[in-house]
Structure 1
Amino acid sequence: MVGGAALVSCSEENTAGTNAVASGGSFEFVSPGGQTSIHYKSEERKKVADFAGTDLSGDGEISLTDFDGQVVVLNAWGQWCGPCRSESDDLQRVQEKLEKHGGGTVLGINVRDNVKEKPQDFVKDNGITYPSIYDPPFKTALALGGVPASVIPTTIVLDKQHRPAHIFLKEVTDKELWEQVEPLLNEDE
C-alpha cells in the first residue's frame, strides 16, 4: 500500500495533472495525487519498452514480445510480501479466465527474492500456473516507464499493443482486475 507519499515520475516535460505522458512516444508513469488505481483511456496509452528476463521456473528467458497481440497482466510480487501472497489466488483465477478466453496471460515479475528457490516453492505450493520473470533488483521497472520499484505489489494491465490500460499500486482482487482486463480482450489491436 502507498502511504502519504506522492508517487511522481520526473522528466524534462511538465507532467503535473496528467496520467500518461508521451516522451519520445513511450509510456512514462505518473501517479496524480498519489492514486493507487489509475485508468488510462485508449487515446492516452503509450507503449512500454520491451523487456526480458530469466524464467523463474527454469533457466529459459521470457520476453514481453512472447505475448504479442495479447492482453498481459504484469504483476510485480515477492514471496516475502503479505499482500502479494494474499492476491496470488486472485491472479490465478484471472489467469484461468484468460486461458479460457485465449487472449492473454498474467506475467509475474518476482522481485527482492535473492534466493530463487523460495519463490519457486511458493509458486509450486500455491498452484500458480502463470509464468514469472525472476528479477530480484526489479530492473524491469525502468522498461515500464518508471513504475515505482518500491511499491509491491504492483499490477499493470497492458492492452494488446502492450500499452498500460490500468495500474494498481495495491493488492488487487480478481473481480476488480477482471473488470479492467475483460474489455481489453475485445479491443482491436
Structure 2
Amino acid sequence: MRHSVASTLVACVVAAVGATTLIACGSDETAGKDAVAVGGNFSFVSPGGQLVIKYDQKDRKPVKDLSGPSLMESDKTIRLSDFDNQIVVLNAWGQWCAPCRTEVDDLQEIQDDLQKGPGNGADGSDDSGTSKGGPAGTVLGINVRDFNKQAAQDFVKDNDITYPSIYDPSFKSAISLGGIPASVVPTTIVLDKQHRPAAVFLREVNAKEIMDVVNNLEKE
C-alpha cells in the first residue's frame, strides 16, 4: 500500500447553545478548508494522519454494493452495481458544506471526461484518435445530512450537475462503505472497475488529481 504525504486531520464536533457547529480542525495547513465533520460527539483521525490514501492493485478489496434512493428521481434506487465494470468516483457531499460547493465544478468536469469513454486522450480516444465507445465510469454522489431534500435538489440544479446522487441524509447507505472514512465531508473515493478503493481523499479535490488516478486505472 502506498500512502501520500499529508497533514494530520482531526474532525471535531463542537456543541453550541441551541445548535451544533461543525468544524474541521487540524494543523494550520488543513484547518477549516479540507473537510467538515459529520456525526455526533466524536473525534476522527485519518490513517497515519494522512488526507490522501492510495492502494496498490494487489492490496485492494471490494466494497459492499452501495445503494439508496435517487436524490433527483422519485421512486428510483441507485446501486453501485448499476455501474458494473466501470470506474466510479464516489463523493460524499452536502449543500451545507463549503468545500463541497467549491469542488463541484471539478467533479462535473470529471463526470464529463468519464462519460466520453476510456482512452488516453481527454476526448475519450486512444492515441490513434479512435473512440473506444461507452463511458469509462461515473461520479456517484452520496448526499449526506441534507434533511431538507429540496435544498439539495436546488443545489444540483443551480450547478448544472449531471452525475447521479444517492439521497442519504441519515448516513445509512454510506455505512455500507465499511472502514472507509466517509464520515468526513467531503470525502472522495475512487473505485476501480472491480469497485475496489484505489484512492481516498479526505479533503476537497480537483479534476486533475482525480483524473490522474482514473487514467492509471484505465491502463490496468
Structure 2 Cα separation of the partners of residues 104 and 4 of structure 1: 30
Greater CA radius of gyration, 1 or 2? Answer: 2
Structure 1 Cα separation of the partners of residues 180 and 147 of structure 2: 21
* Paired amino acid for 1:122: F
Partner of 1:5: 10
Where 1:5 maps in the other structure, the secondary structure is strand
1:39 aligns with 2:54: yes
- Cα offset for 1:141? 2.9
Structure 1 Cα separation of the partners of residues 162 and 9 of structure 2: 35
User: Structure 1's 66 and 166: CA in aligned 2 closer, same or farther, altered over 3 A?
Assistant: same
8 Å contact kept, 2:78–2:166: yes
* Superposition misfits of 4+ residues, deviation over 2 angstroms: 2-6, 146-150
User: Which structure: greater strand fraction?
Assistant: 2
**Structural mapping, 1:64-79, within 5 Å:** 64-79=80-95
**Structural mapping, 1:151-170, within 5 Å:** 151-170=184-203
Structure 2 Cα separation of the partners of residues 64 and 73 of structure 1: 11
* Paired amino acid for 1:5: V
> Identity of paired residues, percent?
62
* Paired amino acid for 2:142: I
**Structural mapping, 1:82-101, within 5 Å:** 82-101=98-117
Where 2:10 maps in the other structure, the secondary structure is coil
8 Å contact kept, 1:141–1:148: no
Partner of 2:165: 132
Structure 1 Cα separation of the partners of residues 156 and 219 of structure 2: 30
Structure 1 Cα separation of the partners of residues 69 and 173 of structure 2: 12
User: Which structure: greater helix fraction?
Assistant: 1
- Cα offset for 1:185? 2.0
Structure 2 Cα separation of the partners of residues 140 and 155 of structure 1: 15
8 Å contact kept, 2:71–2:166: yes
Equivalent residues, number: 163
User: Structure 1's 156 and 4: CA in aligned 2 closer, same or farther, altered over 3 A?
Assistant: closer
**TM-score, scaled to structure 1:** 0.82
In structure 2, stretches of 5+ residues that fail to align are: 1-6, 12-44, 118-134
8 Å contact kept, 2:90–2:142: yes
